[in-house]
Amino acid sequence: QSEKQLQDLVKQQDNKITQLIDHSAEVKRLEADVSQLKRLLKHAETESKTLWQELRLQEPKVDTTPVQERILLRQQVDKLRQLMLDKDDEKWRISKKY
């Protein structure tokens, strides 16, 4: 009986180790994703600043409100797209668990 209990304990420990390995791999993947997103954000911010400077130099009297509105709308669409991707990832992780 104690041998069976030991086997059960070993099996539980193996399951826990497997879960930890899976979580570790997922954390590493997410960290890489965050790093890539930060690089992309910096790139986009630099592009945005440059474009605004170009726009101001070319036509100082131009009303930039429509451009700002378009930028805001694109940012909101990007946020919504990211939320959708996050939900898809979450669904995938849950389906993988079960």
| Segments of the chain scoring below 70 in pLDDT | 59-62
Contact (CB, 8 A) for 26 and 93: yes
Contact (CB, 8 A) for 71 and 48: yes
Residue-wise over 16-25: b if at least 16 C-beta within 10 A, else e? eeeeeeeeee
Tell me, what's the pLDDT at 91? 82
pTM for this predicted structure: 0.48
Residue recorded with tokens 């986009």: 44
